Chains A and B, each alone.
Chain A
Amino acid sequence: MTVLASVSLATFLVAGLAATQFRSQPLPPSNRVARDEALRKSVNQLEDQNRLLKTRVQTLQADVKAGEDESARRSSAAQEVKAQLDEQKTFAGQTALHGPGLTVLLHDGTDPNSPVDHSLGWTVHYQDLQDIVNVLWASGAEAIAVNGQRIVPSTAFHYAGVNILVNNASRLSGPYTLIALGDPPALANGVGNPDQLAELKSRNRIYGLGLSWLRSTRLSVASYDATFLVKFAQPLS
């Protein structure tokens, strides 16, 4: 009897699992799956290459900096230019910084699954990041980073399909953490001002889209992980 009961129970479990297994088979099992895999593989390879290239750029930057430092030690003319260069590097985001500031946290809300609401207002869009960054600059931010990516003069947020990209195709995904260095009360007042980010705050109420901020006495932002190329603009003499 015990064996029979065990076998029955096991058979029931096996049948249940087999049924669930059948239901959870990805559909359709055609070459579309292979095509998707190939595309994803391409993305992975290109992202690996992207990381390697950034590492190469950073290594070269370090070598160039060492050469510049040595030049500055040897020549007063080079020293003078080097001092100006360091200042411009700081303004361009090529230097890591730390100090007091504000951390803004942003994440997707809840999909209302409503047949009448197809707005995707519950998700974070790149324009939301752009708006917050703009408000932070307007509130006196001295440096900003989004998910570790430093906002520099050439930074542009954009979509590649559903992906939010920034700085040499660095993919951003939620939750989003924006760090701004500056006067914490001024930055918090800027973000908290009801006239600012009104649409985002409204989506926070409607869809539960996460928007919060926190003052800190010590935050840090990394330096930009690449460099700048200027091909068309020439200085006016």
Chain B
Amino acid sequence: MPSRSVEFTSRSQRLIIFSLIAIGLGFLIVVQLRSEAAVARTLAAQDDTSVALLINDLNRANNQLMQQSAALAEQQTQLHQALTSGGADSQAISKELTTLREVNGTVAVHGPGLEIRIQGPVMDFELQDAFNNLRNAGAEAISLNGYRIVASTPVVSRGDSLMVAGHALGTTLDILVIGDAEQLGPAADLSASSLQTRVQVSIQRQNDLSITAVVTPHPLIYAQLGK
């Protein structure tokens, strides 16, 4: 009987030791995996400047979205009021139509903005960058040497020539851009700073400039409505 008791005690002790070791190992493995993931996240994490810039952009975008919501809510109320009174408000629809025509470049527009003159040869990507920077700064209408520029306007270099929407341009480029000059100014300066080592760039603020050029959207041939 005593030998069985000793054997039982010995087995129990071994079991406890192994259990403790297993628990310890399990704990360490979990901690190890979690800390490796944390390290990976830390490595993948962005520098403070990147995160701060992202926060700035998100704040700006969210403000824009709030303004869009307010405008849509107002439009909704206007339409609803007309419908409730038994009529139909074509003015609310016309207002939206005008906005979209301005956005699509299918109507002549005027407003405050910048007049940018570039004298000298530039490459297609430099001009694309400039338009991209201006759009990012809230440009509402852009023209180049009398051609309306919209997001789908291709800008390509063909040899030494710069082609915009299939038209060859000379070495003097006149860009008109309508929008908030306070926002557009720094964007134009940014593009100018990278060009000014080779070409002459002048930027002038204008209280009211006109863009009379319009684009005619191509009818859809391949794309169809719906998902």
Contact = CB atoms under 8 A, between A and B. Distances in A.
Interface of A: 3, 6-7, 10, 13-14, 17-18, 20-21, 24-26, 35-36, 39-40, 42-43, 46-47, 49-50, 53-54, 56-57, 60-61, 63-64, 67-68, 70-72, 74-75, 77-78, 81-82, 84-85, 88-92, 94-101, 127, 130-131, 134-135, 137-138, 141-143, 151-163, 165, 168-169, 171, 181-183, 196, 220, 222, 226-236
Contact of B111 (A127, A153, A233): A233
Contacts, number: 305
A13 B48 CA distance: 38
Contacts of A88: 97, 100-101, 104, 106
Interface string B99-143: 111111111111111000000000011001100110110001100
Name the residue among A20, A46, A49, A230 with the largest chain B CB count within 10 angstroms: A230
A85 B27 CA distance: 63
Interface stretch (B78-86, B167-175, B191-199): B78-86
A47 B72 CA distance: 21
Name the residue among B14, B94, B140 with the largest chain A CB count within 10 angstroms: B140
B55 A14 contact: no
B69 A75 contact: no
Interface string B51-91: 11111111111101111110111011001101100011110
Nearest to A222: B227
A236 B65 contact: no
B66 to A, nearest CB: 6
A85 B93 contact: yes
A68 B38 contact: no
Nearest to A126: B132
Main secondary structure of the interface of B (DSSP, over half): helix
Contacts of B31: 21
9 interchain residue pairs of minimum CB distance: A161-B50, A67-B79, A138-B154, A169-B61, A156-B136, A71-B88, A75-B88, A53-B65, A60-B72
B39 A26 contact: yes
Contacts of B180: 231-232
B220 interface: yes
Contact of B32 (A24, A98, A228): A24
A230 to B, nearest CB: 5
Contacts of A71: 79, 82-83, 88-90, 92-93
Given A71-B88, A99-B223, A138-B154, A235 B101 contact: yes
B46 interface: yes
Interface string B19-54: 001001100110110011011001001111111111
B7 interface: no
A178 B109 CA distance: 32
Interface string B142-158: 00000000111111100
A229 B25 contact: no
Given A68-B93, A135-B156, A163-B53, 17 more contacts: A3-B17, A10-B21, A20-B32, A36-B45, A43-B51, A60-B69, A67-B83, A68-B96, A82-B93, A88-B106, A92-B103, A127-B129, A155-B135, A161-B53, A228-B99, A229-B64, A234-B110
6 contacts: A42-B51, A71-B79, A96-B226, A98-B226, A182-B222, A234-B111
Interface of B: 14, 17-18, 21, 24-25, 28-29, 31-32, 35-36, 38-39, 42, 45-62, 64-69, 71-73, 75-76, 79-80, 82-83, 87-90, 92-94, 96-113, 124-125, 128-129, 132-133, 135-136, 140-141, 150-156, 178-180, 210, 212, 217-218, 220-227
Contacts of B64: 168, 226, 229
Contacts of B141: 233
Contact of A97 (B35, B38, B42, B223): B223
A26 B155 contact: no
